[in-house]
Amino acid sequence: MPVAVNTSTVCARHPHPKRLVSFLRPSLHCGISFRTSPGPNPRAIAMAAASQQQEQLVITRPDDWHLHLREGGVLEAVLPHSAKHFGRAIIMPNLKPPVTTTARAVEYREEIMRALPPGSSFVPLMTLYLTDNTSPEEIKLARKSGVVFAVKLYPAGATTNSQDGVTDIFGKCLPVLEEMVRQEMPLLVHGEVTDPHVDTFDREKVFIDRILAPLVRKLPQLKIVMEHITTMDAVNFIESCEEGHVAATVTPQHLLLNRNALFQGGLQPHNYCLPVLKRETHRQAIVSAVTNGSRRYFLGTDSAPHDKRNKECSCGCAGIYSAPVALSLYAKVFEEAGALDKLESFTSFNGPDFYGLPRNTSKIVLRKSAWKVPATYKHSSGEIVPMFTGNTLEWLPSEQSKE
């Protein structure tokens, strides 16, 4: 008696059932017959496409809108990790001494270009370090240079190498900010007060109330990026501003970690950064803001390498080295939020759109392929511990562009 085979099973596994029947035809004399489908099974095709999409993402090459590269041997060691995945990056100016002039920014850019791997198309976008003594003329020079794209505001003493930062933004710095409006030069803000009487975990909120909100009211046409936001208060402020004038970068650590990560299993120096990690409610607010498709937020790793010895000591440096793992971690966040379809806008579109730059044209591939984060990365005089050291991540970025 002939045996009927379920055609939906055949079609689900083999999108071309007629080809399958032809292959099995020699066995038909055994009394087994196959019913062929009149055509491809649409449901099976959709399922196969969805499965393939879940295993691989092809996105426009991202940019990193907040990156620390340092100098010398550290620069040479860490630059390839960013150049491998990102088309461009805003380079932070807090060196020793800081990059306060256009001439020094040009020199620093040349150092970066010399350290790039052969054949790399990575483009560093330079910034100036704002001080109480920065002049409007320097802003004009920066715009004419074609290599300086923003000015960074560090409140004096707020973070690594910020001792030369601003002390009087509404007095000494106001003429510079007015010139920045005329030159359409964005102001990048480390949004924390340094008042010792303000609790560390409240410094971002107080900065918004005391500095940022009044600044936006005083100079509504000044383009401002609130860097590495950490709180629900920052999200609420960004959402309250006019789109296109105030935006924010978001780091992988502030999307994935809360302040418990500093103390679990003992003090964890490699999870210490500034602004410091906050409560879980703040982390959830930032994840929600970033994954809902808003154009106000874009990728900024704040990848900040420090030698292992300077992290694991009695007074460890603030900074998390995330460049090698950042794209894998951002994909993890968007996947867990059910928002992988919005990942590309966050990584590749919102940043250049805000800065008025063209989007990248090359592509990269993110594959669902487990890989283990190395324990350390070596440099000329030591080693750097990356974020999520020793952990296994699920998304693996390709090393080559896919046109």
Return the active site residues. Answer: 66, 68, 152, 190, 228, 302
How many whole angstroms separate alpha carbon 29 and alpha carbon 19? 18
Distance CA 91, CA 111 (A): 12
Helix axes 174-183, 136-145, angle to 10 degrees: 30
Cα gap 8→6, rounded to integer Å: 6
Assigned token pair, 270: 């490699």
Running DSSP on this structure, what letter comes out for residue 363? E
CA distances from 180 to 65, 115, 300, 355 (A): 19, 31, 22, 13
Which one-letter amino acid corresponds to residue 84? K
Contacts 24+ apart (CB under 8 A), 352-358: 352/63, 353/295, 354/186, 354/223, 354/225, 354/244, 354/247, 354/295, 354/298, 355/65, 355/149, 355/150, 355/186, 356/184, 357/88
d(Cα 327, Cα 301) in Å, to the nearest integer?
A: 9
Distances (CA, A) of 130 to 109, 162, 253, 270: 18, 10, 26, 28
Residue with the two structure tokens 């483009």: 123
Helix (H, G, I), strand (E, B) or coil at 372: strand
Q: Which residues contact 386 (CB under 8 A, 6 or more apart)?
A: 321, 322, 323, 324, 325, 373, 374, 376, 377
DSSP-assigned states of every residue in 203-242: HHHHHIIIIIHHHHHH-TTS-EEE-S--SHHHHHHHHHSP
Task: Give CA–CA dist 368/379, Å, rounded.
Answer: 29
As a whole number of angstroms, the distance between CA 249 and CA 191 comes to 11
Task: Report the distance separating Cα 14 and Cα 2, nearest Å.
Answer: 22
**Identity of the amino acid at 401:** S
